[in-house]
Amino acid sequence: MNTMPQSNPIKRRIVYVDDKVQKWLLIALVTLEVLLIAGTLWMMYVQMGEVVDANLYRVHFSDKPNIYPLLFKTALAGVIGLIAINVMVLWVAGWVWERYVDSILKPFRELIEKVEALDFSEDAAMAVPHKVVDLALAWRRSKRHELLELRKEIARLDEPGDLSDAGARARARTTLETIRELLPNL
């Protein structure tokens, strides 16, 4: 996942691009669009050819129907069909993109909910490996390690000892300093 900063430095916004999915969606949409336009042009060519052939030998008839409304109707049907298929294809592409994004956000949300609950237990392997989820898992592992170290230091404070001794006070002070270093700066 690449982050591309906006060209305007005043806008503090990052556009997220997922090359793997967006590349194939773009290739599929462009290929489909080319095929769709070629098919529409071929259909209009055949239908307009039929209209012209049907009216070709009626040049001298005065009661013949005007050819322009028939050509317009054929062109309008082709354009409406093209627009309808484009809308349907864009809807399908949006659905595919939404499912992909949701497949990434679901495990990410689960990780965030665990963090909110202060649950830093071991995480199972995620079904959809993605850089965002991998980064969140790596952060959680590092925080888990820090919290385990903090737990060890706090356990050292729980050991009964006589603080009247200078050595015991120095050890307690060292343990407290270690705990302060492990705690986040708030």
Per-residue pLDDT tens digits of the chain, which is 186 residues long: 455 555 555 555 655 556 776 788 788 888 988 998 999 889 989 988 888 887 777 666 666 667 788 888 888 988 998 899 889 988 988 888 888 888 888 888 888 888 777 777 776 666 667 777 788 888 888 888 887 877 777 776 666 566 677 777 777 778 777 777 766 653
Crossing angle (nearest 10°) for helices 131-158 and 166-182: 160
Written as six digits, the tokens of 182 are 């492990």
| SS percent in the chain: helix, strand, coil, step 5 | 70, 5, 25
This prediction has a pTM of 0.57
DSSP category for residue 16:
E
Which residue do the tokens 């300093």 mark? 177
Pairing of strands 14-17, 2-5: antiparallel
Residue 43 Cα to chain centre, angstroms: 37
Give the three-class secondary structure for 49: helix
57, amino acid identity:
Y
